[in-house]
Amino acid sequence: MKETITSYENVLEMLDSLLREPTTFWNDFYADREKVIPFFANKPDENLVAYFEKELLHPGSALELGCGPGRNAIYLAEQGCTVDAVDLSEPSLQWATERAQERNLSVNFIHKNIFDITIKDETYDIVYDSGCFHHIAPHRRMDYIHLVQKALKPGGYFSITCFVQGGELGGADISDWDVYTLRSLNGGLGFTEEKLRMIFHDFEEIEIRKMKQVEQSDEVFGVAGLWTALFRRK
Q: Is residue 3 part of a domain?
A: no
Q: Is residue 1 part of a domain?
A: no
Question: What's the CATH code of the domain at 108?
Answer: 3.40.50.150
Higher pLDDT, 209 or 15: 209
Q: Is residue 214 part of a domain?
A: yes
At 15-55, the pLDDT tens digits run 888 886 678 888 888 988 988 888 899 999 999 999 999 99
Are the CB atoms for 211 and 227 separated by under 8 Å? yes
Q: Rounded to a whole number, what is the largest CA-CA distance in the chain?
A: 54
Q: Is residue 86 part of a domain?
A: yes
Are the CB atoms for 43 and 22 separated by under 8 Å? no
Give the mean model confidence (pLDDT) for residues 156-181.
Answer: 96
Can you give the pTM of this predicted structure?
0.95
Query: Structural domain of residue 157, as residue ranges?
Result: 8-233
Q: Identify the pLDDT of residue 21.
A: 65
Q: Is residue 196 part of a domain?
A: yes
What is d(CA 158, CA 142) in angstroms, rounded to the nearest whole number? Answer: 15
Are the CB atoms for 162 and 191 separated by under 8 Å? yes
Q: Is residue 155 part of a domain?
A: yes
What is d(CA 91, CA 93) in angstroms, rounded to the nearest whole number? Answer: 5
What is d(CA 116, CA 219) in angstroms, rounded to the nearest whole number? Answer: 33
Instruction: Quickly list H helices, the chain.
Output: 8-19, 23-31, 46-53, 71-78, 90-102, 141-151, 176-182, 193-199
Q: Beta 226-233 vs 61-65: how paired, if at all? A: unpaired
Q: Identify the pLDDT of residue 37.
A: 85
Band (pLDDT 50/70/90 cuts) for residue 144 is very high
The structural domain count of the chain equals 1
Judge whether residue 197 has pLDDT over 80: yes
Q: Identify the pLDDT of residue 75.
A: 98
